[in-house]
Structure 1
Amino acid sequence: MRSRISLPDSKAKSWNQSGNCPISCSMMYSSLQLSYSLRDRLRAGQASLIRPLLSAALVILILCSISVSQSAERPETGTYIRDTARNGYGLLVVYNNWTMDTVAVLTDRWDKPKVAVYLRAKDALEIDGIKDGEYRLYFTIGEGWNSSAGKFNEVYGYYHYNDPMVFETNDVGDEIEYTILELDLYEADATNFMPGRFQFPDISS
């Protein structure tokens, strides 16, 4: 808040033509004292106002920093971003040999996301309980995962596994046979992956 003290009139109007002061010196001195006292009080009031304003600004800055850190996350390997009921027998194992984090997205044959899971660089994960059926597999790699947007803040690529992934379960006597698929991700050898302009599944929250 800015306060303004209005002085009487201009100097020309403060003095008469004879050069005599139209008001007594004691009155003028008292007026000056009052003006300085009022100015000091206003300054003190401004200072007391500035302190809480600075404190409020600091709190806002801290909250903004927390918000930014929450929007750009690095989840642990195995953190499910999207999940559906998994009560089958199929098992998918993914080894991330890239030096960058990735999110694996398993969709049905119509590209509807069924599972999306975070996988850190040089790590591996298992997706179990996959029901029988035909699935497609997508990957995105980058840095700074944004949960609400469902993508990395810095996206380095989107990939699509060319071949459909088929999971089957068979009863064989007293045993159950089911599909286990293992997939290695390599930076130098991405022949099974097709970076392109395909529609990546929407996994935003």
Structure 2
Amino acid sequence: MNCTKRYVISIFILIALVCAAAAQEQGYRPLTGKFIKDTQRYGLGELTIINDNSQKDALIVITDLNQKPLMEVFIRSKETFKISGITDGKYNIYFRVGNSWDRDNSKFLEDEVRYKLDRPLEFETEETWDGTSYSIWMIALEEAVPDANQAMEKILVAEEDFPS
């Protein structure tokens, strides 16, 4: 084989590898429960998130009251995840819902909708005569399930108002 043929074959192999990597990257979906950002959690509070959307994945962003992101967790379509160890305090809950996750920019490339709950969730721990009580919240992203959302509303959020 002469040098020119080897060079052409090498280029074709390189192009094929780049195309395969791009195709694999385009289909990337983190597993449910993959923390994109996390913080140390020493509390007892629990938050269960039900992604009952049958077609779209979600990124849940939990911020302090100053909109500083503390946790970001990915939840695939039709899956549920529980965050435990949440420290006492009030937290805003934001959502990105869509398809084709862009991990470099932490957003969806297709059909993305952004929203937040209309009021902060409060987590409290109390010592009682018979033990310890702590906050347990459940959020369904689409339809209310029994005891989920407790009549909270979703508010649409513009890209520039979404915490980053």
Q: TM-score, normalised by structure 1?
A: 0.69
Cα drift, residue 196 of structure 1:
3.5
- Paired with 1:75 and 1:160, the residues of 2 have a C-alpha distance of 22
Q: Kindly report structure 1 stretches of 4+ aligned residues shifted beyond 6 Å.
A: none
Cα drift, residue 157 of structure 1:
0.4
Paired residue type of 2:13: L
Structure 1 partner of 2:163: 201
Q: Which has the higher helix share?
A: 1
Q: Report the count of equivalent residues.
A: 156
Structure with greater Cα Rg: 1
Paired residue type of 2:97: I
The reply on whether 1:166 has 2:118 as its aligned counterpart is: no
The reply on whether 1:143 has 2:99 as its aligned counterpart is: yes
| Residues 72, 146 of structure 1: 8 Å contact kept | no
Two-structure CA RMSD over aligned residues (Å): 2.3
Cα drift, residue 154 of structure 1:
1.5
Paired residue type of 1:55: S
| Residues 136, 163 of structure 1: 8 Å contact kept | yes
Structure 2 partner of 1:154: 110
Gaps of 5+ in 2: none
SS of equivalent residue, structure 2 residue 48: strand
| Residues 72, 153 of structure 1: 8 Å contact kept | no
SS of equivalent residue, structure 1 residue 194: strand
Cα drift, residue 96 of structure 1:
1.1
Percent identity of equivalent pairs:
33
- Paired with 1:108 and 1:134, the residues of 2 have a C-alpha distance of 7
| Residues 106, 138 of structure 1: 8 Å contact kept | yes
Structure 2 partner of 1:178: 134
Structure 2 partner of 1:89: 44
- Paired with 2:71 and 2:4, the residues of 1 have a C-alpha distance of 53
Q: TM-score, normalised by structure 2?
A: 0.84
Cα drift, residue 61 of structure 1:
3.1
Structure 1 partner of 2:87: 131
Aligned counterpart in structure 2 of residue 108 of structure 1, from 64, 82, 85: 64
Cα drift, residue 123 of structure 1:
1.1
